[in-house]
Amino acid sequence: MRPSVSIVDSGKTGEEAGDGFGDDRGGLRAVSEEQGGSGALPSRVEGGRIVFVSGLSGSGKTTAMSALEDQSFYCVDNLPVQLTPQFLDLCAKSTPPIEKVALALDAREGVFLQGLPSVIEEARKRGEVSVVFLECSDHALVNRYRETRRVHPLSPAGSVEEGIAAEREMLGDVARLADVVLDTTELNVHQLRDRMIRSVAGEARPTVVNLISFGFRYGPPSGAELLFDVRFLANPHFEPALRPRTGQDAEVADFVLRTERAKALLERLESLLDFLLPCYDEEGKAYIQIGVGCTGGRHRSVAVSEAVAKALRERGREVNLTHRDSGLSR
């Protein structure tokens, strides 16, 4: 089976050009520690997906790359086109192979971009290729640069308009290869992320839930965005037979969750998350960290978080569950 290869051309991002999409990260975001390669595109990247990101400065490159990172792509910024075949060859030969790769190409590389069309054409011979170009109107780009008071990278001593014109000419060959053009003129950061992901992956990855049980005695988890206090539930600590165990034990969990109060709590928590999580999905939120706390983090918070995690997984949600304090000595 041949790889599906997407070539995505986008530009500098918001803060660099004032569009609110974020700052440009320049340089390598992730690189292989190996050097070398065969000098030709690999004949196959097993089960792989390759995305190239380049284009007009200010049209949303950083946002586009961040969206792909959230989809588990291995992302590299500003890799010279001449090194692309060797890099892809390394990805294909890695153990295990790197299956999802995103490469951001900067128009400031100038002469390096001249080799991009040939790289794309060579890729077409070896696999399924789609080319997506991130476009933006001159008027919107000028406004974005004015808002941030930054110079255009291709016209540091001249006007922004001159830089935009030069860049359009430089990227003309790449734009003509595009199968899909995404115009970011009227898009906000969330819309751009959504369009980017749908163009490349077909659909966005649902928000991942990082669920952590803890004891208030040791402080709440840092970074928790939703926090639930379950200290009002029946406490196994006062039951000698249950005290040494944790909320992962069936008898302890039953003791905590069998009451009407506990059942009502779980029903409301699940209902709340059934409402919130699709909203986070729609906004492109990569993950949400939820804390569930009791006094010591051993019984009640563990039992409740286990029950919530089970319910979310039954709904198809990816959940990472951590019991921070259940193993602490008492």
Predicted confidence (pLDDT) per residue in 113-171, tens digit: 777 778 877 766 555 566 778 888 988 888 888 887 777 877 777 788 888 888 888 88
Amino acid at 128: E
> What pLDDT is attached to residue 218?
94
Rounded to a whole number, what is the distance in angstroms from the first to the last CA of the chain? 56
Give the CA diameter of the chain.
79
The pLDDT of residue 62 is 83
Query: Which two three-digit tokens encode residue 145?
Result: 């640069």
Our CA angle for 180, 126, 104, nearest 5°, is 50
Mean pLDDT of the chain: 80
Beta-carbon-side half-sphere exposure of residue 41 (alpha carbons within 13 Å): 20
Q: Check residue 285 and give its pLDDT.
A: 83
Query: Which of 82-91, 113-122, 269-278 is predicted least confidently?
Result: 113-122
Residue 160 phi, psi (nearest 5):
-60, -40
Task: Kindly report whether the peptide bond that precedes residue 96 is cis, defined as omega within 30 degrees of 0.
Answer: yes
Q: Could you give the count of Cα atoms lying within 13 Å of 66 in the half-sphere of its Cβ? A: 22
Residues with Cβ within 8 Å of 287's Cβ and at least 6 positions away in sequence, in order, are 207, 208, 209, 210
What percentage of the chain exceeds 90 in pLDDT?
33
User: Rounded to the nearest 5°, which phi and psi values hold at 9?
Assistant: -105, 120
The pLDDT confidence band at residue 319, using thresholds 50, 70 and 90, is very high
Q: Which fold has domain 4-201?
A: Rossmann fold (3.40.50)
pLDDT interval class at 310 (50, 70, 90): very high
Question: Taking the domains of the chain in order of start, what are their residue ranges?
Answer: 4-201, 208-323
Q: What is the pLDDT of residue 330?
A: 60
Q: What is the pLDDT of residue 110?
A: 64
pLDDT of residue 190: 83
What is the pLDDT averaged over residues 180-201? 83
Structure tokens belonging to residue 103: 């490469």
**pTM, whole model, 2 decimals?**
0.60
Query: Which residues are paired to 75 by β-bridges?
Result: 102
**How far is residue 60's CA from residue 253's CA, in Å, rounded to a whole number?**
49
pLDDT given at position 321 = 95
Take residue 108 and report the two structure tokens written for it: 């400031």
d(CA 150, CA 142): 10
83 in the Ramachandran plot: left (φ > 0), alpha (ψ -120 to 50) or beta? alpha
**Residue 60 near residue 22, CB atoms below 8 Å:** no
Q: 229: which strand partners?
A: 293
Residue 204 has pLDDT above 50, yes or no: yes
* Interatomic CA distance for residues 203 and 199, integer angstroms: 8
State residue 128's pLDDT score.
Answer: 56
